[in-house]
Amino acid sequence: MSENIAIYPGSFDPLTNGHVDIIQRGSRLFDRIVVGVLMNLEKSPLFTVPERVDIARSVFREWPNVEVDTFDGLLVDYARRKRASVIVRGLRAISDFEYEMQMALMNRRLNPDVETVFMMPAETYTYVSSRLVKEVVALGGSVSGLVPRLVEERLRDKKLSHETLKA
Ligand code: PNS
């Protein structure tokens, strides 16, 4: 029987506990879940792609059916290469819905064989985003409990400041 493989794509700059929660839920639903870190064209990411991959691999090193990989180009092409029939996305609130619906329908048009599945993170994380995590840290606040310990450490190493936010 063929494996039921899902892709969980994103920027993960950085990985938050909201992402971790979705990946754990996905790993229970699918035979394999591939965390696809987008090699994006964003001008000033905080973490390099290898740093983001390294973090996710460390966090999930004891989860045998979680793979961490990178991709560029169209997500549906990547899904085909990975033999994945599902794209997983987390939906936190109504505000996520419009962007997610556009992407899901565009991806369906590009490849009707790949289905997007939305999952809700635990309510504790519904307000957590990578962008806000960076902002809070840069302004001297604590993100303890909102990101994995390793991410907290790596954020500390980056020595973020007000200036970082302007970059
Ligand atoms: O975590 P993010 O930044 O919201 O993730 C966005 C992501 C990676 C899912 C999206 O940018 C993406 O799929 N990019 C790949 C390019 C692509 O396939 N675009 C057309 C489909 S909408």
Cα Dmax for the chain: 53
Helix axes 49-59, 149-158, angle to 10 degrees: 150
Atom of ligand 1 nearest to the CA of 73: 16
Per the CB < 8 A criterion, the answer to whether 67 and 33 are in contact is yes
In whole angstroms, what is the distance from residue 46 CA to residue 49 CA? Answer: 10
Measuring from atom 14 of ligand 1, which residue has the nearest CA?
75
Q: Give the atom of ligand 1 at the shortest distance from the alpha carbon of 87.
A: 9
Q: Name the residue of 7, 19, 38, 108 to mutate for ligand 1: max ligand atoms within 8 A of Cβ.
A: 38
Q: Is the pLDDT of residue 164 over 90?
A: no
Amino acid at 167: A
69 membership: H or E segment, kind and range = strand 66-71
Per-residue pLDDT reduced to its tens digit, 112-147: 999 999 999 999 999 999 999 999 999 999 999 999
Give 112-134 as a 3 state SS string. CCCEEEEECCCHHHCCCCHHHHH
CATH superfamily for domain 5-166: HUPs (3.40.50.620)
Separation CA 97–CA 100 (nearest Å): 5
Cα–Cα distance measured from residue 121 to residue 18, given in angstroms and rounded to the nearest whole number: 6
- In three-state secondary structure terms, 154 is helix
User: Other C-beta atoms within 10 Å of 103: how many?
Assistant: 15
**Considering only CA atoms, which of 1, 37, 7 is closest in space to residue 22?**
7
pLDDT in tens, 31-87: 999 999 999 776 689 999 999 999 999 999 999 999 999 999 999 999 999 999 999
DSSP-assigned beta bridge partners for residue 70: 37
**Residue pLDDT, tens place only, 88-105:** 999 999 989 999 999 999
The answer to whether 131 is a known catalytic residue is no
